Amino acid sequence: MRARVDTLASGEGASEQARRLAPGALLLVVAGACWAVTARRMQGMDMGPGTDLGGLGWFAGVWVTMMAAMMLPSLVPMAQAHARESARAGAPRAAGAATVFAASYLAAWLGAGVLAYAFVEGVGSLSLPWLAWDRGGAYVAGGVILAAALYELTPLKARCLRHCRQPALLAGRWRAGSFGAVRTGLEHGGLCIGASWALMGALFAVGVMNVAWMVAVAALVAIEKLLPRRDVAVAGTAVLLAALGLAVAFAPEQVPWLTIPM
């Protein structure tokens, strides 16, 4: 009888652990699928800095897929924290609430992508001759990346990144129900946009349709969010961005994976 009770307890413990890990596992599976889709869709599309973004509807679909691939792996600790808070509050579908949270997080990034699209297309419509790569384009792209490096060192970046890294801070913003999950996801997405928008700007500067640069930026985002020493991660990212910005501006032909615009 005692052995049977122990077996049941062990089974319940394993089931509880599986429920805790389910949100993170689901996000990793979705991210992997999105990487596969992104790699297939981006073949032959990279034109380097100034890549044509296409129509808004097409870009929005591509952007959401990109953000799912790049951002969901580093969102795993927060999604699991959201599921834990939901379970602690007695919510019947904690994993489902975490999924709604992650979807709302991506919706925030979709809004940021639409704004970026409007800005890039608006500047392109001006047909400014000095933006041509063989005139001032390389310096503009390098300057955008250098600005991203400087942003890494600002108090706003530090404040937003702190919220993106600490599940305890998410627990303080947790709200019950599906609407609460949507609101929490949008808020968390906004904070993570505050932490990573400059890195996305650097991605546009080297070519937003370049899968290799997508992987590099996604790695930097994950390192900043997950590495135990936040200060080391941020300082390292700033140095790398500064070096890249100078290289793009003054020696673009030496930058790996960079497609020089025709």
Cα separation of 100 and 5, whole Å?
Answer: 36
Residue 145 CA neighbour count, 13 Å, CB half: 29
Separation in Å, CA 98 to CA 91, 141, 169: 11, 38, 16
Cα separation of 116 and 195, whole Å?
Answer: 16
Cα separation of 119 and 236, whole Å?
Answer: 29
pLDDT at 203: 97
Q: Write 110-114 long-range contacts (CB < 8 A, 24+).
A: 110/60, 110/63, 110/64, 110/67, 112/193, 112/197, 112/200, 113/59, 113/60, 113/63, 113/64, 113/67, 114/56, 114/60
Domain ranges (residues) in the chain: 2-254
8-state DSSP, 132: S
User: For the chain, what is the mean pLDDT?
Assistant: 90
Tens of pLDDT, residue by residue over 132-180, are 999 999 999 999 999 999 999 999 999 999 999 998 888 888 888 889 9
Cα separation of 200 and 187, whole Å?
Answer: 19
pTM of the model: 0.90
132: left (phi over 0), alpha (psi -120 to 50) or beta: beta
pLDDT band at 9 (very low <50, low <70, confident <90, very high): very low
* Terminal-to-terminal C-alpha distance of the chain: 77
pLDDT at 108: 98
pLDDT band at 247 (very low <50, low <70, confident <90, very high): very high
pLDDT at 3: 53
Contact 148, 201 (CB under 8 A): yes
Q: Kind and range of the H or E element at 196?
A: helix 177-206
Tens of pLDDT, residue by residue over 36-86, are 999 998 988 888 998 899 999 999 999 999 999 999 999 999 999 888 888
pLDDT at 89: 77
pLDDT at 11 over 60: no
pLDDT band at 199 (very low <50, low <70, confident <90, very high): very high
Contact 67, 189 (CB under 8 A): no
pLDDT at 186 over 60: yes
